[in-house]
Structure 1
Amino acid sequence: MTFSTFWREKSSFNPFVTGATLLIVVLLVASTLLLPLQTQAVLDGLKSGIFQYFSWFYILICSIFLFFLIFVAISNFGNIKLGTNEEEPEFSFLSWLAMLFAAGMGVGLMFFGVAEPLSHYNSEITSGSLAQRTQEALLHTVFHWGIHAWAIYGVIALALAYFAFRYKLPLALRSCFYPLFKEKINGKIGDIVDIMALIATLFGIITTLGFGAAQLSSGLHTLGWFENGDFGLQVGVIIVVMLLAVLSAISGVGKGVKILSETNLGLAILLMLFVLFTGPTRYLLSAFSENIGTYLSNLIPLSFKTFAYESEHIGWFNGWTILYWAWWCSWAPFVGLFIARISRGRTIREFVFGVLAIPSLFCLLWFTIFGNSAIWFDSSIAQGSLSAMTSSPETLLFKFLDYLPLSSLTSLVALSCIALFFITSADSGIYVLNNIASRDKSLASPRWQAVMWGVLMSLVAITLLGAGGLATLQTMTLITALPFAMLMAIICVSLAKALWLDKQYFEAKFNPTTVLWTGERWKSRLKQMMNPTEDKDILKFLKQTALPAMRELRNELRSEYDLTVDVLSDFTADEPFVEFVIHKDSLQDFKYGIRSVEREIAEQLVKDETLPHIQQNTVYEPISYFFDGRNGYDVQYMTHEELIADILKHYERYLSLLTGVGQELMTHEQTELAE
């Protein structure tokens, strides 16, 4: 069996996507091992370049994502369902919220729950009294983990869910570009999208695994199980956890993983409540309320703040906010796919506010309880000992728990949460990587692919941790997330186009001409429908149907009602027309016209072999137009008598308006014309 045959028959991989991704990763690992100093210099240079030239882009585009989602939700687009119009949600509202709540948890919250507020509290970004510094520290922490992070996830999740459940396309990132590239998404354009998403997701997951390994090692050392939490222990943790994740991924025991995830979520909530009720409870509840207000009142200014006028804080800004925005972008395919899978049947409005509000509120509660408590203990009991450890953030959670009762038990619970988050994140990451790299999203991935991803992530994480620790992992996330953030901007354009077309499609009404149809002449009308009209057909309609009908009605109105009526026509104009005009003194004339209008037909319809009657790229239609500028419609199916009836229908409307609001409007317009 040749390698290409094996690749095709024994894997679900897209050869180009997977091969290009593996090549990039292997080159990175090899250069890190063989040329560590040169590689680090290149990475540092790329990081500095992104900080210098693209930090504004991260801030602007992530804010655009947020306001794009809010606009879509509050507009008429918010009524569109992620599925058919009749489809009901797959999960109950409470179950759906619970799963969103679970998605908001992870290794990151465990790692940064204490460390980040304390870091900001002791950094240059805060100033003033103890209370002011605490408030600002929590503001910046919540800003990093709040609604902007979930807007980044939400854009990808909404696009994935919409195109998968509404357009019936595969649940894949390349599907999000269908309105822009149509069938080309199944070619190299789709492959490039998948490569960018695969690399960004891979390094986003690896970075998270690095944080988890560092904190797990520190926890094992704190509990006294190992003498130190050095690099060797971190390597062991990565190997053991990834082994468990791979076993979980290849076992197919989804129910067991679900139970573990729910148990883990329960443990995390219990730990949070324990800290709330054994810590300064009243202070924390008051701080939670105030943190909400502070966050909301500063949301708009912070959304666009690039510190262009506060250059002394640029280092902090790049090292925290920009790195976070890059991290969230790299995690967007991972979290977005999970959210999309559970959101079928929801309206866009329900989806957006659920995704933005619920997890953000939980993150705010989590950081209030852990962050405010840590600062409170540090300033009142610990005498700054917690602040002194901000350079080792992986140890802070366990040192913080020492100031609460039952510290050994709570540290064990925290360690269990981190381990389970670690395992489930790696397990889910393997699934997402297989999905992105697959040539057919409906194919089941063979077990060896899960082993391959597990080994790959472990090797890259260990190599980069050994080369430069967590900083190197963060640098790789920053670099790989930039092109994907640009890709997300294009996804917003594609989604906006699709939503607009969706609205037009479902709001499209029958042609007014068809209201007059009966069963008579149905064969001739069917023949007209199945033979797209050319310009000569429209000229024939204007001359033989429209013009005689208008002249007959003109003669009747002149002879019987003494009205001043004209019928105008020009069959040599760029848009040939006939026009029926009833003149009114001091009022706007009544006008009903029909012109020949050229319309393009989509190329894919012309090429569609199941539509043999469509042979050309353009058709011509006789479109009506009126005295007041209203949109007209195609009248080619009308008979002589039906056309007279249609003119009279609009004339009756014209007369009825003369007795109401139309009189003043039409008089005013006539006056302007006279002037």
Structure 2
Amino acid sequence: MNKSTSSKVFKTNFTKSVALPSLAIIIAISLFCIFFSKDAEQALNFAKNIIFKNLSWLYVLLVTIFVLFLVTLAISKFGKIKLGADDSEPEYSFFSWIAMLFAAGMGIGLMYFGVGETMAHYATPANANLADNLRAKEAQLYTFFHWGFHAWSIYGVVGLSLAYFTYRHNLPLAIRSGFYPILKSKIHGKFGNIVDVFGLCSTFFGIATTLGFGVVQLSAGLVSLNIIPESSFNYQIIIVLVVMIIAVSSAISGLGKGVKKLSELNIIMAVLLMLFILVFGPTIYILSTFTEGLGHYISHFISLTFNTYAYEKGSQEWFSNWTILYWAWWISWAPYVGLFIAKISKGRTIREFILAVLFIPAFFNFLWMTVFGSSAVWIDEHIAHGALSVFAKNPDTLLFNFFTYFPLTTFLNILSILIICVFFITSADSGIFIMNGIASKGAVNSPKWQSIFWGVLLSLLSLSLLHSGGLASLQTMTLITALPFGIIMLLLCYNLWKALVVDSEYSAKKYSHGSLNWNNTNWREHLEKIVTVSKKKDIHEFLNGTVKKAFEELVVELAKNNIEAHINSFSTPQRAIELEIEYDELRNFKYGVMVQGQTVSETLLKEKNTPDMDLETIFQPITYFGDHRKGYDIQYLTKDGIISDVLREYERFLNLSSEGDHDLIMKPNS
């Protein structure tokens, strides 16, 4: 292979100031956990216990703020703002969107803790003195609490912030973008690099620990099916390699083809598995406990949210080992899941985003945890006579022991293993996609070898950590880093609120009183154009004739006033022409007109009072601007009318530029 061919194959879009420090930190920490696993685990556990003991109140307060913040945005006037331009549409169907965010956000955890957590709370309740008849009810309550609205509010804060700044203000899809309101262009410097390094390392370690611990459950399932004789390290190597090969192949194929299809497949398989347990399990008991459990959770929501067990010393250890650990774990995963949710949420409104992200996955979690958890408790009490409780501290095998009390046990084991595999693949797949994005400042397309590189690195380090016993140390360190990232998330909330206030004021800004009366008197021409149906060639002629002449005349007049403007023409993705005035510190002023098709309703086609309406698709000249505002139809304007409209927009642009509060929108972002 010659030099030119080699350089083409290994072309990269990595940002060196982000990728190289991240790789150095990832490798250094991994080696420390591999070669000094016992010392690392002891030291990190000591640090974790001190943080959890003394700062548990801060974790509780942070998560509470995140919940309240999202609810406030959803019911406020900001809820109607789109994550993108005002006329942008979602890239994915609602089902595909929900399936992808669900697979990335919870995925494997549902299989791991679906039976395990409820049984753990049932076997060892938070209150040791709890009456036997209340243990199952409280076990369900705390499972709902840990997997409900609070968990998804953590993901929602990061996802919403990054989606807003990425799609509304054309910033890179990276954590640094969430700091634009307070740092402005400095996000492209050292501080932005530091934030992205933190996000990249957190994403890598989160996926590595999940891959390492999850392979243990997969191997346990394969043992139960007699596919492998034992859950040894050699077989775990094979499992990781197979999963990662599929994940990398999926990542290379693209987000829309890979993760989308796998997520849709997996949500269907998961629902089928849940329905099987519901039908062949204690159906009436499950439905009754779900209804009562949901009410119990809602009625205790406020007290659960703020409870720090300050007056219940005997429950504080349980509180640290469960609630605080969960809040730390969700926060540690927030950079990865938040970035992925942001990536797939373009075109949604803020209200739609919040309601969907908070309620739909949480409701499914409640149903899942009830079907599996409550069934396990009922079986343990009435059939197994305590045999399932024995496995409460071993969730790796608990699920497969649970299946032995149902018909078609082998089928259930196979289906659950398939679901676990696909959840692993989607987590690794989307993780590779996100790591590529962070390491390249939000680049949309990355060379294929970079996906292979992340897959190989994830496989090697997760297997090395698993073999050396250093995986637990890495997990503990990840939990410790959750606290500083929780503070970063608090700043993201502040920045997002500040930006939304500016956005709302900007969009509500009207034309100045001096321009309201700008008009021309050619109303007959206006009427003729309004009632005449336009074909594509008509609009092309309008752009090349009336619009272009208006722009050319205006460029000349602007030059006389020492303002340099130029005209740009485009043929793809649709025919367009624009007038642009460039600035160094401000966002360029841009007034463009593009050809846009619109489908005509059958009702209008049949109307007698629209004699010229005989086309199923009509075309219009629609304006667009340098900011995110929605354009409008100008086909009825004459040359002078277009000039007046451009000047009206330019006057608005200058007026807004003079107000410092609008820097977020008026300044360039790259």
TM-score grouping bracket, smaller chain normalisation: 0.7 to 0.9
1:195 matched residue in structure 2: 197
Verify the 8 A CA contact 1:207 1:477 in the aligned structure 2.
no
Which of 140, 155, 158 is matched with 1:156 structurally? 158
Q: Does the Cα contact within 8 Å between 2:100 and 2:263 map onto a contact in 1? A: no
| Residue in 2 that maps onto 1:79 | 80
Q: Give the 3 Å change call, closer, same or farther, for CA 610–37 of structure 1 in structure 2.
A: closer
Given residue 425 of structure 2, which amino acid in structure 1 is its aligned partner? I
Provide closer, same or farther for how the CA distance between residues 125 and 53 of structure 1 changes in structure 2, counting only shifts above 3 A: same
Structure 1 partner of 2:323: 321
Q: Percent identity?
A: 50
**Residues 621-672 of structure 1: per-residue CA shift (max 9 Å, x gap):** xxxxxxxxxxxxxxxx9xxxxxxxxxxxxxxxxxxxxxxxxxxxxxxxxxxx
Distance 1:175 1:299 in 2: 33
Check 1:124–1:372 CA distance in 2 against 1; reply closer, same or farther (3 A cut).
Answer: closer
Question: Among 407, 410, 413, which residue is 1:408 paired with?
Answer: 410
Q: Which moved more, 1:130-139 or 1:24-33?
A: 24-33
Name the SS for the 2:151 alignment partner. Answer: helix
Specify which of 213, 216, 228 is matched with residue 215 of structure 2: 213
| CA offset digits 1:451-490 (Å, max 9, x no partner) | 2212222233223333446643431320232222221111
Q: Superposition RMSD on alpha carbons, in Å? A: 3.0
Q: Give the AA of the match of 1:203.
A: F
2:117, 2:438 → 1: CA distance?
32
Distance in 2, matches of 1:366 and 1:449, equals: 36
User: Per-residue deviation at 1:144?
Assistant: 0.8
Does 2:120 align with 1:119?
yes
Whichever residue aligns with residue 82 of structure 1, its letter is L
**Which range is displaced more, 492-501 or 217-226?**
217-226
1:256–1:15: structure 2 CA closer, same or farther, 3 Å change rule?
A: closer
Structure 1 residue 606: deviation in Å? 8.7
Distance in 2 (CA, whole Å) between partners of 1:53 and 1:605 is: 52
Q: Which secondary structure does the structure 1 equivalent of 2:405 belong to?
A: coil
Matches within 5 A, 1:392-541: 392-439=394-441, 441-442=442-443, 444-468=445-469, 471-512=472-513
CA pair 233-31 structure 1, distance change in 2 beyond 3 A: same
Corresponding residue for residue 271 of structure 1: 273
Deviations 1:44-100 (A, max 9, x none): 232123213332222111111110000011111112122222334444545544555
Cα distance in 1, alignment partners of residues 62 and 146 from structure 2: 15
Structure 1 residue 496: deviation in Å? 0.6
Residue 609 (structure 1) shift:
10
Give the superposition deviation at 1:363.
0.3
CA drift of 1:384 comes to 0.8
**2:571 matched residue in structure 1:** none
Provide the rounded CA distance (Å) in 2 between the counterparts of 1:347 and 1:218: 43
Cα distance in structure 1, aligned partners of 2:481 and 2:505: 37
Matches within 5 A, 1:286-435: 286-435=288-437
| Maintained 8 Å contact 2:60/2:324 | yes
Note if 1:26 corresponds to 2:27. yes
After superposition, the Cα gap between the structure-2 partners of 1:16 and 1:86, relative to the gap in structure 1 and judged at 3 Å, is: closer
Measure how far apart 1:163 and its partner are. 1.1
Shift of the 259–513 alpha-carbon distance from structure 1 to 2, 3 Å rule, reads: closer
In structure 2, the CA distance between the partners of 1:262 and 1:610, relative to structure 1 (3 Å rule), is closer
Tell me by how many angstroms 1:19 deviates.
1.5
- Alignment-derived partner of residue 583 in structure 1: none
TM-aligned CA distance change 1:435 to 1:101, over 3 Å: closer
1:95–1:209 Cα change, 3 Å: closer
Supply the distance in 2 between the matched residues of 1:287 and 1:433 (Cα, whole angstroms): 41
State the Cα distance separating 1:172 from its structure 2 match.
2.2
What is the CA–CA distance in structure 1 between the aligned matches of 2:9 and 2:332, rounded to whole Å?
A: 29
Alignment equivalent of 1:179, drawn from 167, 171, 181:
181
1:539 matched to which residue of 2? none
Gaps spanning 5+ residues in structure 1: where? 532-603, 612-636, 638-675
Q: CA deviation at 1:268?
A: 1.1
Deviations 1:249-299 (A, max 9, x none): 335595355433322221111110000000000110111111111111111
Query: Which stretch of structure 1 is more off in the superposition, 341-350 or 93-102?
Result: 93-102
Q: TM-score, normalised by structure 1?
A: 0.73
- Aligned pair count reads 530
How far the C-alpha of 1:245 sits from its partner, in A, is: 1.9
Gaps of 5+ in 2: 521-553, 563-581, 590-650, 652-670
Residues 253/46 of structure 1: CA separation in 2 closer, same or farther (3 Å cut)? closer
| Offset from partner CA, 1:380-422 (integer Å, 9 cap, x none) | 1111111111221110000000001111111111111111111
Counterpart AA for 1:502: D
Q: Is 1:14 aligned to residue 15 of structure 2?
A: yes
CA separation of 1:503/1:352 partners in 2, compared to 1, >3 Å: closer, same or farther?
same
Secondary structure at 1:128 match in 2: coil
Q: Residues 410, 609 of structure 1: CA spacing in aligned structure 2 closer, same or farther, 3 A cutoff?
A: closer
SS of residue in 2 equivalent to 1:211: helix
User: Matched residue of 1:166: which SS?
Assistant: helix
Mapped to 2, the partners of 1:609 and 1:432 lie a distance apart of 28
- How far apart are residue 129 of structure 1 and its match? 3.4
248-257 vs 406-415, which deviates more?
A: 248-257
Cα 1:418–1:610 shift into 2, 3 Å: closer
**Distance in 2 (alpha carbons) for counterparts of 1:292 and 1:610:** 53
Deviation at 1:101, TM superposition (A): 5.1
2:190 and 2:225 map into 1 onto residues whose CA distance is 52
- 8 Å contact 1:210–1:473 — kept in the other structure? no
CA contact (8 A) 2:37 2:469 kept: no
Structure with greater Cα Rg: 1
- Offset of residue 220 of structure 1: 1.0
8 A contact 2:35–2:468 mirrored in 1: no
Q: In 1, Cα distance between the equivalents of 2:16 and 2:216?
A: 34
- The question of whether the paired residues in 2 share the 8 Å contact of 1:164 and 1:171 is answered with yes
Letter in 2 for 1:50: I
Distance 1:377 1:515, change over 3 A: same
Counterpart CA distance in 2 for 1:8 and 1:14 is: 18
Cα contact 1:203–1:330 (8 A) shared by 2: no
For residue 388 of structure 1, what is the amino acid of its counterpart? V
Letter of the structure 1 residue corresponding to residue 450 of structure 2: Q
Higher mean C-alpha deviation, range 92-101 or range 368-377:
92-101
CA contact 1:104–1:362 (8 Å) conserved in 2: no
Tell me the equivalent position of 1:54: 55
Cα pair 2:66 2:154 within 8 Å, conserved: yes
Structure 1 segment 574-589 matched on structure 2, within 5 A: none
Q: SS of 1:356's equivalent?
A: helix
Q: Name the CA distance, whole Å, in 2 between partners of 1:411 and 1:245.
A: 22
Q: Does residue 45 in structure 1 map to residue 46 in structure 2?
A: yes
The separation in 2 between residues aligned to 1:289 and 1:357, in whole angstroms, is 16
Mapped partners of 1:378, 1:481: distance in 2: 36
Moved more, 365-374 or 173-182: 173-182
- Higher relative contact order, chain-length normalized (CA < 8 Å, sep 6+): 2
Deviates more, 1:494-503 or 1:504-513: 504-513
Q: Which amino acid aligns with 1:303?
A: T
Shift of 1:514: 5.3
Distance 1:32-1:172 versus aligned 2 partners, 3 A rule: closer
The answer (yes or no) to whether the contact 2:83–2:346 under 8 Å persists in 1 is yes
Amino acid at match of 2:152: W
